[in-house]
Structure 1
Amino acid sequence: MTEPSRTQSNASRYLFVLIAGLLVGIVVTVMAMRALQARQDPFPHSLMNVMARQAQLLGDSRKQNRCSVNDSTPRLQTLRSLTNDLDLAFPGLRDDTRFQQHASRFRATLNDALASPPADCTALAAVTEQLGNDCKACHQDFR
């Protein structure tokens, strides 16, 4: 009669050790992932996210038929300001001529757009398409 209770006792011990091992494994994995993440510079990813959001907001303005100079110029100015930090965000690519060409082309597109801001949705669509092409060209080479 004592045998069934001993078997149940062993099974509960094994289950407890299994659950404790899983919990310890999860904690150690999270700690290791955080340590690896702390070694990475978040600036490049953050810069790309902010630039993508500004470009998305330009596209949203166009879709909402809000294409006046007052609607698009602040977004274009923000994008242009952010492009000044591309070399800081990607220091390993600072001396790469292809990267510099892509960055210069992107800046030139923004400079042209700011020199004569798009006044209607057709012009805004052309600017956003050119900006998208500039981004895509760089990402194809460096992603």
Structure 2
Amino acid sequence: MTQHDTAGAAREFLERTGLEPTLNRILVLSAVAAHHRPVTAAEVHSHILREHRINRVTVYRILDLLADRGAVNRFNSGERAQHYCVGGNHSHFHCTGCGRVQCIANEDLHFDETAVANALNLAVSHVDLHLEGLCPDCARAAG
């Protein structure tokens, strides 16, 4: 996907969710989507600064707004920084060795919201597990 495609998709999403598609909002959402992995606000800020001047606090505020509206997923990996990613219902793995964070499709974990809701007799609309351990590289190195 090109940068133009990502920006166009970001604009359409913002319009669908009732948010004004300002340039900064489009840039922030596009930067999160462009990484294809969970990123910190600092990484989003650095990505945008390559081509556009934006205040760090503005990035944090936009990320909070996007997370509150469901445009991005926000989670804490156990470290100080919040991480942000796009995509449907999924969970996250944090490697305690190298610090890398990755998204994992809930289907790969063999469960879904309906199964969890039925098992717990709750009205579950979203499942987000936080998994911690060692990635394959760190597990081999610790080996």
TM-score range (shorter-chain normalised) is under 0.3
Flag the structure with larger Rg.
1
Higher strand share: 2
TM, length-normalised to structure 2: 0.26
Higher helix share: 1
Q: Which has the higher contact order (CA 8 A, sep 6+)?
A: 1
TM, length-normalised to structure 1: 0.26
